[in-house]
Amino acid sequence: MRIVPLLLLICFVSLMFVGQTMYSSDKETGATRDIYEQTEESFNWSNYSKAMESAIDNGIESNANIKEYNINVQRVKNVFIKFVDFVGYGTFEMSKFGIEYGYEHPEQDLSFFLKFLIKLFWIILAVALIPLVVPVLAIIYLFFKGMFYVFKKIVGIRDD
């Protein structure tokens, strides 16, 4: 399992906790809310999509005097805008789903699953960093060996 899907799972389970917390808060105060309407109003991607599209349009300018270049830059911008729009829209919809699921199922204990995912994340991170240990130890060894060699030259100790 790669680390990015694991981080996405951790975020998704955390959003379920947000929904469960909203439910327990509503239960304590005696309030009722339509969770689906709440998430639709709070997580509206179209507000962010327009701002993101104008930022990308303003950020990537094609000021060349070559017609073909300007056309190609515009096409790349269109593809990039659609990709960011797809990722953003998907993220917002999954966030809505996680919060709504947690709100509708407050009886489920997700803490075990979240703790398991976090432990799995640290294990994967440690396994990914293991190949870096040997070069770092070699660099430290060579550093101290070099310092010892310089010290011997300065003090004038000879090897017999």
CB count within 10 Å of CB 22 equals: 19
Q: What is the reported pLDDT for 10?
A: 82
Q: Is residue 46 part of a domain?
A: yes
Q: Is residue 122 part of a domain?
A: no
Tokens of 86: 């797809």
Q: What is the reported pLDDT for 142?
A: 94
pLDDT at 73 over 90: no
pLDDT at 41 over 80: yes
**Are the C-beta atoms of 84 and 44 separated by less than 8 Å?**
no
| 71: Cα within 13 Å, side-chain hemisphere | 3
**Are the C-beta atoms of 41 and 99 separated by less than 8 Å?**
no
Give the chain's domain count.
Answer: 1
At 138, the pLDDT band (50, 70, 90 cuts) reads: very high
Q: Is residue 151 part of a domain?
A: no
pLDDT at 61 over 80: no
Contacts of 11 (CB under 8 A, 6+ apart): none
> Which range, 17-26, 49-58, 103-112, is most confident?
17-26
pLDDT at 62 over 70: no
Q: Is residue 76 part of a domain?
A: yes
Q: Is residue 137 part of a domain?
A: no
Q: Is residue 126 part of a domain?
A: no
C-alpha 97/C-alpha 103 separation (Å) is 10
**Are the C-beta atoms of 61 and 114 separated by less than 8 Å?**
no
- Average of per-residue pLDDT values in the chain: 83
pLDDT digit string (tens) for 76-135?
Answer: 888 988 898 898 888 889 989 988 988 888 888 877 877 888 888 888 888 888 888 889
**Residue 10 domain boundaries:** 3-108
Q: Is residue 24 part of a domain?
A: yes
Q: Is residue 140 part of a domain?
A: no
Mean predicted confidence (pLDDT) in 27-31 = 87
Q: Where are the alpha helices (DSSP H) in the chain?
A: 3-29, 35-42, 45-59, 67-104, 111-155
Q: What is the reported pLDDT for 13?
A: 85
